[in-house]
Amino acid sequence: MSLTDRCNLRCTYCMPEEGLAWLPREEQLTDDELGRLIRIGVSILGITEVRFTGGEPLLRRGLIGIIQASAALSPRPRLMLTTNGIGLERMAAPLREAGLDRINVSLDTLDPERFQALTRRDRHADVLRGLAAAAEAGLTPVKINTVLMRGINDDEAPELLRFALAHGYQLRFIEQMPLDAQHRWDRHTMVTGEEILAALAPFDLQPDSVSRGTAPAETWLVPGHVDAAGEPARVGVIASVTRPFCGDCDRTRLTADGQIRNCLFATEESDLRKLLRTGATDDEIAAGWQIAMRGKRAGHGIDDPSFLQPARPMSAIGG
């Protein structure tokens, strides 16, 4: 569930330095509309987990209230949030008190200067403090999402894993996907899952016996290390491009303006905002949601010559 398309970073692989044209406020779902859709998803459609994304979800003014309302539902869904970490130091404890269960923080480098070059903002220390605050607040396991880019930060995989292990965080490497606003993604320059695992060979990673289920990450155990909960330390790779898991995907995506996307790479959307604002009943909205999901394709088709990159960039979809 994307809460906003706005972001306070300008990552080079996501958007141009000047930013993007943000959604007008009247086109965005209100807090009450978001809450109603979450309730319909949980009580009628059987959704058991809700992940809040953006843009940068910490910029959403009503965030705490949205989480509180979601946590009060019965059955209670697991509540997660993906953030760039800016402002998390201040928000971690209130988020936990509101009912948030755990958090993912995007961090692509341990080098402050490289961070500034990648994000066009000097906020590296803020992200590190946010990670520590999340762990202290009990938003565990704290997960780090990292995108490696060839010639930019692909030399940092071992150091990033050592950092995560030292702090009890769980690291997830993600293959760069064709979701940038500039449409400059090139598969030939993408760092693949196989290359990431090769870079981590010194850690003697072992296959994880725990099934990934419908989770996007393939995980490996890191011998000799445990996480903050005392469980065997794990590292994950989300190889959406080279090892697609479309057949196991059970996610439904809602944009900040109320559009359902049945796939991250979908080129078509279904409008729930119109149903919300024209008097549709809960059952009618649920039926519209189901119809949207039944149109899901068997795969994302990135390897197909006819593949078209979605018009919306990642920041406007919600990752």
Strand intervals (E) in the chain: 49-52, 78-83, 102-106, 143-147, 170-174, 206-207, 218-226, 232-238, 253-254, 259-261, 270-271
Residue 60, marked binder: no
Residue 261, marked binder: no
183-192, long-range: CB < 8 A, 24+ apart: 183/309, 185/309, 187/241, 187/302, 189/149, 189/150, 189/151, 190/150, 190/241, 191/148, 191/149, 191/150, 191/154, 192/239, 192/241, 192/242
Residue 168, marked binder: no
Residue 149, marked binder: no
- Beta strands 253-254 and 259-261 are antiparallel
Residue 247, marked binder: no
Residue 169, marked binder: no
Residue 273, marked binder: no
In this structure, are residues 43 and 288 in contact, taking their beta carbons and an 8 Å threshold?
Answer: no
Residue 172, marked binder: no
Residue 190, marked binder: no
d(CA 239, CA 194): 9
Residue 30, marked binder: no
For residue 244, whether the previous peptide bond is cis, meaning omega lies within 30 degrees of 0, is: no
d(CA 182, CA 186): 12
Stated as kind and residue range, the H or E segment containing 317 is helix 314-317
Residue 14, marked binder: yes
d(CA 62, CA 68): 10
- Token pair belonging to 186: 């090139």
d(CA 316, CA 319): 9
Residue 55, marked binder: yes
- Known binding-site residues for GTP equal 51, 82, 143, 251-253
- Known binding-site residues equal 7, 11, 13-14, 51, 55, 82, 106, 143, 177, 246, 249, 251-253, 263
- Known binding-site residues for [4Fe-4S] cluster equal 7, 11, 14, 246, 249, 263
- Known binding-site residues for S-adenosyl-L-methionine equal 13, 55, 106, 177
